[in-house]
Amino acid sequence: MTSRTDYCGQLRAEDADRQVTVCGWVGRRREHGEHLAFIDVRDHTGLVQCVVDEKLDLRNEYVVAVTGTVRARPEGTVNQDLPTGAIEIGECQVEVLSVAEPPPFPLHERTDVDENIRLRHRYVDLRRPRMQRNLRLRASVNSAIRTAMEEQGFVEIETPVLIASTPEGARDFVVPSRMHPGNFYALPQSPQLFKQLCMVGGVDRYYQLARCLRDEDLRADRQFEFVQLDAEASFVDEEDVFEFISHAVAAATEAATGERPTEFPRITWRDAMELYGSDKPDTRFAMELVELTELFAHTEFNAFKADSVKGIRVPGGAESTTRKRLDELTEQAKRWGAKGLAWFRVEAAGLNSPVAKFLSQDEVSGLVAATDAVEGDLLLVVADSWHTTCHVLGLMRLELGRPPVTEGGFHFLWVVEFPLFEALDQAGDPIPAHHPFTMPHEDDIGLLDGGDLLAVRSRSYDLVLNGWELGSGSVRIHRAETQQKVFAALGIDEAEAEAKFGFLLDAFRYGAPPHAGFAFGIDRLVALLAGEENIREVIAFPKTQSGADPLTNAPGPIDEGHLDELGLRVLPPPS
């Protein structure tokens, strides 16, 4: 094979008259006349037009080495939209290195191809410029993150993949043990316990681009396996963690976009819920929730007699939102859990709404004043429990105001002081909002002994980007008494704690430094930086939404012999 001298996408007018050899795949072919044909030859840098003998059998996706002379394209045939559009390679000798069957789908950028077909032939799909760009962007992000962490004294340590269960709250993937029949390893939902053990082991600052596995339903921003930047440091508090992690994501953003974000604002969980109705607010746009509970405290209107009343103002929404759309939004609000949705068009004559007649004059003017409404706006009001009001209006805000993924820049936000417990389960035990090693807020530790558990704040924090939760972390409990209190509050007795986390509790008896950490999802960060709505676009070999891999056909059955060796029997699927 003739050696490559240049990449296809890098040839320019300055290269005219050079004899070059490029290698790649044959893209589109056009007949030229005069016994000649044009073919595009493509590699990961782009494509270049080559003029070849029309008799050559060169079909789509054949792999070729093309040797010829670079020359300026004739007047009028320059393609301004193509980086190599000023030149072509003429007088080409073509060596066919591999023939190819017709590709299962056209590789042309603008065609929309069914995702299953793309994934089934991912090796062809990866040749598309968009995938090449995304994978390379991901590699630059990883490299920037590694450098940023190492600059701050973090050491990369690999933790095992066959482990005992981790307490992240999702379902484990398990692996049967051949040598210990009837026993199973769990795959790590995160390296949480190992990184804490590293702190006891004097590592001081640990990081890892760690693969985590959680058996949860898949979504646009979730895969069974994903990669996190996982970090932990000793003798630090949350301020230090914010600094380490902000530095890493700023470096990653700069590597991907050329611009370094400087703002990493903070908001408490409570304020995030009050203002945005979400613990992962998209702060690219305002449309904040307006508090109206006081205003309607003595209302005669039954639908507004509730623990919490809030509203949002949709600027200019009065005209643009049709009655049909308002009905749809009302149905939507009900599906999200609200009893209903009140809407008001702000008009010159006052508020136009089916429910306006139930409100007093003071309530009407109070509503307009509180929301800063002007003529032409639309006001949406929900009255319900605090959680439902926030939740429903938070989703409504996104529905009506959220910009497309590629617009509005990158708005990072630290959400701090999450509650320690999310809710109570059916048995009345609290469900931890984070894993159970999260330190409670110092002022609230007293509440763990019989106080209002749902009011206990924790020293945990999330990093949010444009409404996506990138990751979370916390200051950890490093003292046995506090850990026991949290376990007791969670309804985990000593025997259970010993069985599940005994090795960590043992380790803590041998000198545990105060420590804190964080982990954020690389897939999500890269997707947002690449302007993609779906993390599958930034993963080389992802699973489909149903968890299957159409390329390798995983998951698949295993043979009887293998099952026997593992001591397993497969039951018929439940009917």
Q: Interface with ligand ASP includes 414 (CB under 6 A)? A: no
Q: Does residue number 440 form part of the binding site for ligand ASP (CB under 6 A)?
A: no
- At its nearest, how many Å lie between ligand ASP and the CB of residue 243? 16
Count other C-beta atoms under 10 Å from residue 148's C-beta. Answer: 23
Q: Does 242 bind ligand ASP (CB under 6 A)?
A: no
Q: Which residue is associated with the tokens 């709250």?
A: 169
What amino acid is encoded at 552 in this protein?
Answer: T
Give least dist CB 140 to ligand ASP, A: 24
Taking the complex as a whole, the smallest distance from the CB of residue 266 to ligand ASP amounts, in Å, to 18
**Would you say 168 or 237 has its CB closer to ligand ASP?**
168
Nearer to ligand ASP, 46 or 471 (CB): 471
Q: Between residues 228 and 389, which has the closer beta carbon with respect to ligand ASP?
A: 228
Residue 472 sits in the site that holds ligand ASP (CB under 6 A): yes
**290-291 vs 266-268, strand pairing mode:** unpaired
Could you give the CA distance from residue 93 to residue 53 in angstroms, rounded to a whole number? 9
Between 310 and 434, whose beta carbon lies closer to ligand ASP? 434
For 393, residues 6+ apart whose C-beta sits below 8 A from its C-beta are 277, 289, 310, 311, 312, 380, 382
Check: CB of residue 400 under 8 Å from CB of residue 333.
no
Asked if 518 interacts with ligand ASP (CB under 6 A), we say: yes
- Give the Cα separation of 156 and 139 in Å (integer): 17
With tokens 């919490």, the residue in question is 308
Minimum CB separation of residue 468 from ligand ASP in Å reads: 14
| 4-12, 289-297, 393-401, 515-523 -> range binding ligand ASP (CB under 6 A) | 515-523
Nearest CB to ligand ASP, comparing residues 165 and 365: 165
Pairing of strands 266-268, 412-416: parallel
Binding segment for ligand ASP (CB under 6 A), chosen from 360-368, 467-475, 477-485, 532-540, is 467-475
Residue 519 binds ligand ASP, judged by CB under 6 A: yes
Cβ distance to ligand ASP smaller for residue 88 or 238: 238
What does the per-residue mask of binding to ligand ASP show for 167-206, with x meaning CB under 6 A?
-x---------------------x-x--------------
Comparing CB distances to ligand ASP, the nearer of 290 and 420 is 420
d(CA 150, CA 155): 6
The answer to the question of residue 223 lying near ligand ASP (CB under 6 A) is no
Judged by CB under 6 A, the stretch of 139-147, 259-267, 411-419, 471-479 that binds ligand ASP is: 471-479
Binding of ligand ASP by 9 (CB under 6 A): no
List C-alpha distances in Å: 301 to 306, 342, 383.
Answer: 10, 11, 11
CB 214 within 8 A of CB 169: no
- Scanning 37-45, 104-112, 197-205, 517-525 for contacts with ligand ASP by CB under 6 A, the matching segment is 517-525
Question: Which of these segments, 11-19, 70-78, 285-293, 469-477, binds ligand ASP (CB under 6 A)?
Answer: 469-477
Alpha helix positions (H), 372-521: 386-401, 480-489, 494-508
Q: How many residues does the chain have?
A: 575
When CB distances to ligand ASP are compared, the closest residue is: 190
DSSP 76-118: T---TTSTTTTEEEEEEEEEEEE--PPPSS---TT----HHHH
Among residues 166, 2, 57, the alpha carbon closest in space to that of 501 is found at 166
Judged by CB under 6 A, which stretch of 238-246, 362-370, 404-412, 514-522 contacts ligand ASP? 514-522
d(CA 4, CA 21): 5
Enumerate binding residues for ligand ASP (CB under 6 A). 168, 190, 192, 472-474, 517-519
